[in-house]
């Protein structure tokens, strides 16, 4: 489609249209240039591979066709998938941890931090990017990213896995969404069930707007989720004291920092406990200690804020 559009611009016409064609082609070039827009996320596979030194360590996205899908096992015995994202004649090798639903020839979006070299198992790859299936969202990601914007789409929340993970139905396909900047208690933790109930009370069965920030290693879209009333679900969870500001992944978000400080001071939600255990610490506890922690008393059910 892009080729047909450019061909039409270059096609025969009156001399009066020449300047308009030149202007339009210049605009297309600017939109496709990573240096023209500081916030641009999308990068072309060929340029990325040819300029590894320039992009080493940067967070980028690429869009293309899935090929050469392989299942492997890491040195720690964890299963994962690798695949190639093809754009024209160029291919970029990316990861797809636990994602078995991507098949050959489907459109995928791969996001993550690009590295010149990254060794997993016995093989070496050139990135730490993770792929996500976007077959049923044609054009939604590419057009937004090329214009220097994050991809945004709307859908209906059909499931809540836990306090910070949703399932959104968009174009007849259920998509897992991990909330950006928030970390809620795990299901096996005290307050884990209540955190899930709070999130469900906010968005279950409702239409939300999803602004994609990244794709995590599990193939989930990491996103800001806006409710129908315009409020961000991510912020409402922290405001109610049902989740932590995830400083590791949103270190510069002063709003979440402020909301957590206020929730602590007001002893809302999980902050009723003297020293609630952060979920990132819980996940690293030995299994027997995690079972013990599950039996701790939890705080009263949260009340949705106005």
Q: Which residues are catalytic?
A: 178, 186, 220
Inter-residue contact 168 to 160 (CB < 8 Å): no
Structure tokens at 139: 């054009």
Separation CA 145–CA 227 (nearest Å): 23
Separation CA 60–CA 120 (nearest Å): 20
Structure tokens at 205: 């069965």
Structure tokens at 230: 């315009």
Separation CA 222–CA 178 (nearest Å): 5
CB-CB neighbours of 198 under 10 Å: 24
Inter-residue contact 158 to 174 (CB < 8 Å): yes
φ, ψ of residue 87 to 5 degrees: the values are -135, 105
Per-residue buried b or exposed e for 240-273, using 16+ beta carbons within 10 Å of the residue's own CB: bbbbbbbbebbeebeebbebbeebeeeebbbbbe
Tell which residue, 305, 301, 306, has the closest CA to residue 195: 301
């Amino acid at each position: 489609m892009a080729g047909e559009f450019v061909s039409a611009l270059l096609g025969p016409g009156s001399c009066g249209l020449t300047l308009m064609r030149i202007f339009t082609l210049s605009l297309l070039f600017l939109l496709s240039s990573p240096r023209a827009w500081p916030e641009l996320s999308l990068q072309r596979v060929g340029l990325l591979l040819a300029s590894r030194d320039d992009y080493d360590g940067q967070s980028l996205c690429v869009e293309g066709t899935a090929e050469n899908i392989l299942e492997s096992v890491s040195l720690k015995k964890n299963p994962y998938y690798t695949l190639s994202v093809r754009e024209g004649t160029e291919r970029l090798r990316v990861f797809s941890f636990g994602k078995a639903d991507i098949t050959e020839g489907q459109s995928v979006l791969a996001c993550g931090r690009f590295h010149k070299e990254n060794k997993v198992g016995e093989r070496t790859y050139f990135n730490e990017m993770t792929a996500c299936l976007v077959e049923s969202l044609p054009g939604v990601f590419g057009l937004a990213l090329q214009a220097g914007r994050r991809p945004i789409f709307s859908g209906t929340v059909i499931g809540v896995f836990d306090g910070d993970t949703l399932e959104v139905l968009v174009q007849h396909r259920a998509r897992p969404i991990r909330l950006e900047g928030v970390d809620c208690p795990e299901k096996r933790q005290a307050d884990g069930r209540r955190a899930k109930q709070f999130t469900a009370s906010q968005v279950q069965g409702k239409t939300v707007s999803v602004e994609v920030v990244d794709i995590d290693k599990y193939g989930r879209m990491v996103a800001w989720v806006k409710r129908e009333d315009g409020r961000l679900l991510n912020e409402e969870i922290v405001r109610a004291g049902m989740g932590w500001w995830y400083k590791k992944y949103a270190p510069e978000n002063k709003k979440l920092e402020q909301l957590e400080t206020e929730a602590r001071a007001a002893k809302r939600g999980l902050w009723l406990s003297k020293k609630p255990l952060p979920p990132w610490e819980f996940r690293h506890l030995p299994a027997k200690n995690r079972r013990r922690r599950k039996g701790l008393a939890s705080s009263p059910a949260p009340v949705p804020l106005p």
